[in-house]
Chain A
Amino acid sequence: GAVVSQHPSRVICKSGTSVKIECRSLDFQATTMFWYRQFPKQSLMLMATSNEGSKATYEQGVEKDKFLINHASLTLSTLTVTSAHPEDSSFYICSARDLRGASGELFFGEGSRLTVL
């Protein structure tokens, strides 16, 4: 299957700093990527839909100025957590849809664990 890669897999930062997480589709182009957040022992919560060449679409309750999403190319979307605080500590997962096949299956990255001190 297709491969979606996230970097970094783990990041620790100080409160008040900004952190960028990358999501890449390695062997296919993705016009749309999705960013999820997962709290411990809880489900994945969709944060936003990242659209190549246009603004991201944020879910209700997600601060767009806090979580900046840029989808500058067909293989890369970035999530920047600005002025991070301890409550932003979480597991962030991206996914991308491979349209080459008939199923248009979604493939997930391995996730990025953010810890804000």
Chain B
Amino acid sequence: AQRVTQPEKLLSVFKGAPVELKCNYSYSGSPELFWYVQYSRQRLQLLLRHISRESIKGFTADLNKGETSFHLKKPFAQEEDSAMYYCALSGGSNYKLTFGKGTLLTVNP
């Protein structure tokens, strides 16, 4: 069974501070991990995926198979980063995603 755990419902940081949104997963095979973001009054959109190994809007995430984690990090948070962030896992080629419960990030001025 696939499972994604985001332990923090809410995360609040000040502008310029580092931020880390935690994500742990459970899957018996080789998963594909994603971070999706939902800004206020907007639809869900892809932020980044682990196979791309790229930085988007200053965010990075590294897949740690030993710890079964895919934490999202940004060294200097900006106010416009305030949003709901969902970690998601796909275990097959059909792109069926399992989502975590999400973390609401608030970046204060």
Contact = CB atoms under 8 A, between A and B. Distances in A.
Interface residues of B, number: 16
Nearest to B49: A103
A79 interface: no
Contacts, number: 41
A104 to B, nearest CB: 7
13 contacts: A1-B45, A32-B94, A32-B95, A34-B95, A42-B101, A44-B44, A44-B86, A46-B96, A46-B98, A93-B43, A95-B44, A103-B52, A106-B97
A106 B96 CA distance: 10
B97 A34 contact: yes
Q: What's the dominant secondary structure at chain A's contact region? A: strand
A112 B35 CA distance: 22
Contacts of B49: 103
Interface of B: 43-46, 49, 52, 86, 94-102
A32 B94 CA distance: 8
B100 A49 contact: no
Contacts of A67: none
Contacts of B46: 105-106
B43 A110 contact: yes
A1 B95 CA distance: 18
Nearest to A99: B95
A43 B43 contact: no
A46 B44 contact: no
A43 B95 contact: no
Interface string A83-107: 0000000000101010000011111
Nearest to A1: B45
Contact of B44 (A42, A104, A108): A108
